[in-house]
Amino acid sequence: MPSTHATLVNHQVRLASRPVGQATVENWQFTEEPLADLNDGELLIQVLALSLDPAMRGWMNEGKSYIPPVGIGEVMRAGGIGRVIASRNPAFAVGDVVSGTPGVQEYWRVAADQLKRSGLAKIDLRVGSVTQWLNVLGMPGMTGYFGLMDVGQPQAGETVVVSGAAGAVGQTVGQLAKVKGCKVVGIAGGAAKCEWVVKELGFDACIDYKAAAPEGVQRWDAVREGLKQHCADGVDVYFDNVGGDILDAVLARLKRKARIVICGAISQYNNTGAMVGPKNYMSLLVNRARMEGIVVFDYADRYHLAIAEMAGYLKDGRMKSKEDVVEGGVAAFPATLNKLFNGENFGKLVLKVAD
C-alpha cells in the first residue's frame, strides 16, 4: 500500500529523568520524529486517547516491581485507544479501532513480532465509547472487577468500602458491589465527588476526607467517625486505592474474616520520605482478616468475560461511567498527569490526542 503517512510527524513525550516526589516538567523530554515506511507485517496506529493512571508514577521509578520501569529516554508507557491508519498486516484493516499500550505519542507503529506482547486488541465502539474503553471496559474496569470479585469476594448483604471512590477503579468497584447486592460506602475528596457517587452511581454513602473536621477533631478522626456511622457493623471488604491514614482508619473497623484488596497507595506515590506502612495491621490478626494484592495483567485471559458482563450493566443502566477528558494532545501530558495526585480529576482521567 502507498505510504501515505510518510509526511506525518510523530510527537512524543519521553522520560528524561526519574522524579523525586511529584514529577515536574524537567522530568520529561518532548521529541518529534518523522514516520518511516512500514515493513511487512507492521501496523501504524493513530492514537485517539490515552489513559492516565496513578500506576504511571510507579513506572517512572527505578527498581523491581510488577512491571519493568520505563527507561530514561524511552517514550512514557501509557495505555490508549487508536485507529489503524496503515496496515501491512492482514489481521488488521485501516479503520480498525484498537486498544493497547501505545505510550505517550501521537502515532504508534507496531512491528509484527510486537503484536502479541503489545496486548493490542480490536475493540467495538458499539459496545462502548472510546473513553468507556479506557474506563469501565478498560484497565481500570478490569482492575476493579477482578480485584473485587476474585480477591474481595463480596457476598450479598456485606459492607464494601472503596477509597478513590470517584476515580476510575473506584467507580467500577462501587457500582459492581451494588449490582452484587452489597452495601457500598465510598471515600473520596470533595463534596462534589461524594455527592456524585451517591446520587449518580447509587453508593449508599460517601465519606469526604477533605471535609472540614469539627473543631478539635483531626481529619482522620473525622474519617474514622464517618466509617463508624456508615459501617456500624464493620467492614467486610475494603478496596484500597490510597493507602496511608485511610487504610489505617478502615483497618480499625474490620469485621471478622474481612478482605482488604490492595490495589494502590496513591497517597504514598510521591512520598520522598520512607513509605508509611499500615500501623493498624494487627487488626488482621484480631479479626482473622486478609490483605491481598492484585495486578490486573494476571486476569488477561478473562478480560472478555468481565467486559461482556459490565457492558451489559452499562447498557441496562445499572452502571455508569464518568471520564474526565482533557484536551491538548500529548503536550498536555505532564500537567494532566499531576491532576491525579492532587485529587483534581473527577472520574477516569483521559488525555484526548486526536478526534
282 scored as a contact of a copy of itself (CB under 8 A): yes
| Burial class of 319 by CB neighbour count within 10 A (0 to 12, 13 to 18, 19+) | buried
The nearer residue to a copy of itself, 107 or 145, going by C-beta atoms, is: 145
286 scored as a contact of a copy of itself (CB under 8 A): yes
Residue holding cell 481529619?
Answer: 219
Residue 143 zone, left/alpha/beta (φ > 0; ψ -120 to 50; rest): alpha
- Max CA pair span of the chain: 72
93 scored as a contact of a copy of itself (CB under 8 A): no
- For residue 131, give the amino acid letter: T
290 scored as a contact of a copy of itself (CB under 8 A): yes
287 scored as a contact of a copy of itself (CB under 8 A): yes
- For residue 122, give the amino acid letter: K
Residue pair 17/27 in contact (Cβ under 8 Å)? The answer is yes
Residue pair 190/208 in contact (Cβ under 8 Å)? The answer is yes
Nearest approach, Cβ of 90 to a copy of itself (angstroms)? 37
- For residue 339, give the amino acid letter: K
285 scored as a contact of a copy of itself (CB under 8 A): yes
The nearer residue to a copy of itself, 99 or 172, going by C-beta atoms, is: 172
> Smallest Cα–Cα separation from 98: which of 116, 81, 78?
81
Buried b (16+ CB within 10 A) or exposed e, 8-21: eebbbbbbeeebee
The nearer residue to a copy of itself, 101 or 287, going by C-beta atoms, is: 287
Q: What is the C-alpha separation between 153 and 156, in angstroms, rounded? A: 10
Q: What is the C-alpha separation between 185 and 348, in angstroms, rounded? A: 19
289 scored as a contact of a copy of itself (CB under 8 A): yes
270 scored as a contact of a copy of itself (CB under 8 A): no
Residue pair 138/76 in contact (Cβ under 8 Å)? The answer is no
29 scored as a contact of a copy of itself (CB under 8 A): no
Nearest approach, Cβ of 282 to a copy of itself (angstroms)? 6
Dig out the grid coordinates for 184 from the structure.
457500598
The nearer residue to a copy of itself, 31 or 271, going by C-beta atoms, is: 271
For a copy of itself, the binding residues in 30-89 under the rule CB under 8 A are 64-66
Nearest approach, Cβ of 184 to a copy of itself (angstroms)? 22
Site string for a copy of itself, 298-317 (x = CB under 8 A): x-------------------
Among 87-95, 108-116, 177-185, 283-291, which window interacts with a copy of itself (CB under 8 A)?
283-291
For a copy of itself, the binding residues in 205-264 under the rule CB under 8 A are 243, 248, 262-264
Which residues would be at the binding site for a copy of itself (CB under 8 A)?
Answer: 64-66, 243, 248, 262-265, 268, 274-295, 298
